[in-house]
Amino acid sequence: MLDIAALASTLTGLLAPALPYLLKFGEQAGTEASKKIGVDAWERAKTLWDKLHPRFAKKAAAQEAATDVADDPASEDAQAALRQQLKKLLTEDSGFASELAKVLATTITPPSGTAINSSVNVEGGGVAFGSGAVVNSSGPISGRDVNVNKI
């Protein structure tokens, strides 16, 4: 079963830094965004926003939440409002939520040189990957190329 809250949270985190640029039009905004947040993050956010924008356009509260995040991307309150609007939208249409989850799965790629085994299972708190990742867990950790240094 799809975790709508987690999906909304992930979408909010990906969209927040890009919304100031996504809500502007023209090539200039894309160029500036690529410099500020990175080409990969910009392309990922653009792909997601292309799918979300038509649905946001139909809801004044969703539009306002997106505009508030665009005005202050670091605002926790603005992000919370956006996350809430995303949860509502995703709950209303589980097929659309699944579609976005698939887009996320195909657009999020690990950094070059990092191997992630899709069968990795981390119990006891969460999943961590990438350079400098730390897992604090008393539960079992398994997967390919996993290194655990206990302190």
In a shared domain, residues 22 and 49? yes
| pTM of the shown model | 0.67
Taking residues 80-108, report their average pLDDT: 92
Please determine, for residue 117, whether its predicted confidence score (pLDDT) is greater than 80.
Answer: no
More confident residue, 81 or 117: 81
Least confidently predicted of 15-24, 38-47, 48-57, 136-145 = 136-145
Least confident interval from 2-11, 24-33, 94-103: 24-33
Residue 86 and residue 53 in one domain: yes
Which of 10-24, 30-44, 54-68, 100-114 is most confident? Answer: 54-68
* Enclosing domain of residue 133: 112-151
Q: Does residue 84 sit in the same domain as residue 98?
A: yes
Is the same domain home to 146 and 93?
no
Please, which residues have CB within 8 angstroms of residue 6's CB and are 6 or more apart in sequence? Answer: none
Query: What integer is the mean pLDDT of 74-78?
Result: 96
